[in-house]
């Protein structure tokens, strides 16, 4: 599974870059993705909202790490 670590990125950077990053990895066939968000609720919200707008699915069924989000196409 492809992993993208968002540590070190500011919230506004993620809002700006994440949509293109998701599309790039989707086009490369790199799904599902594991995004490492850390424990920031704001970062998790940004990721969830971006995925919703882009039409990607958050998979919470088997993810046991609260600091990551699994994204499926």
Q: Which CATH architecture fits 2-72?
A: 2-Layer Sandwich (3.30)
Looking at residue 20, its pLDDT comes to 96
- pLDDT at position 48, please? 96
- Give tens-digit pLDDT for 33-73: 999 999 999 999 999 999 999 999 999 787 788 899 999 99
Nearest to 33 by CA among 45, 41, 42, 25: 25
Residue 18: C-alpha distances to residues 13, 54, 62, 64 (Å): 8, 10, 23, 23
Residue 38 buriedness (CB in 10 A; 0-12 / 13-18 / 19+) = middle
Is the pLDDT at 14 greater than 90, yes or no? yes
Predicted local distance difference test score (pLDDT) of residue 62: 75
The domain ranges of the chain are 2-72
């Amino acid at each position: 599974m492809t992993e993208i670590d968002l540590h070190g990125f500011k919230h506004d950077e993620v809002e700006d870059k994440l949509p293109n990053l998701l599309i790039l990895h989707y086009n490369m066939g790199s799904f599902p993705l594991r995004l490492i968000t850390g424990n920031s609720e704001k970062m998790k919200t940004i990721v969830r909202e971006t995925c919703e707008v882009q039409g990607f699915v958050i998979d919470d069924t088997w993810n046991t790490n609260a600091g990551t989000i699994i994204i499926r196409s």
